[in-house]
């Protein structure tokens, strides 16, 4: 646990404006002042053809916050891509991952 806290501290110092939230092991990076996790910003960025201008123009993000999330993503792409993939997983994939959880039937 001490190693995780130290790692988050190093990342927060390297990327001022990035903080971490939730409980272990689900802690995730977010952009302070936006209410958005980095993965949410990057998912939108990818949907907008990786255009910073479109991301800023089509959301309420400031240019600085958008660029901060992108910079963090470029340094830790695997971390962010894993969360995006998990969020995009289907109910069947979730059922395979979490067999004790009841998921609603898919139509």
Contact 66, 52 (CB under 8 A): yes
Residues 6+ apart with CB under 8 A from 14: 75
- pTM, to two decimals: 0.82
Contact 80, 39 (CB under 8 A): yes
Domain boundaries, the chain: 2-94
- Whole-angstrom distance, CA of residue 19 vs CA of residue 24: 14
User: pLDDT 10s digit of each residue in the chain, 107 long?
Assistant: 788 889 999 999 999 999 999 887 789 999 999 999 999 999 999 999 999 999 999 999 999 999 999 999 999 999 999 999 988 877 777 677 777 877 666 55
Dihedral of the alpha carbons of 91, 96, 97, 99, in degrees to the nearest 10: 100
């Amino acid at each position: 646990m001490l190693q995780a806290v130290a790692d988050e501290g190093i990342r927060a110092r390297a990327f001022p404006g990035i903080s971490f939230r939730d409980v272990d092991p689900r802690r995730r990076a977010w952009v302070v002042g936006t209410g958005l996790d980095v993965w949410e910003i990057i998912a939108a960025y990818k949907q907008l053809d990786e255009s910073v201008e479109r991301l800023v123009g089509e959301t309420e993000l400031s240019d600085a916050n958008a660029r901060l999330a992108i910079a963090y993503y470029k340094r830790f792409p695997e971390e962010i891509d894993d969360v995006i993939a998990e969020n995009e997983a289907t109910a069947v994939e979730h059922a395979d991952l979490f067999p004790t959880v009841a998921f609603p039937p898919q139509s």
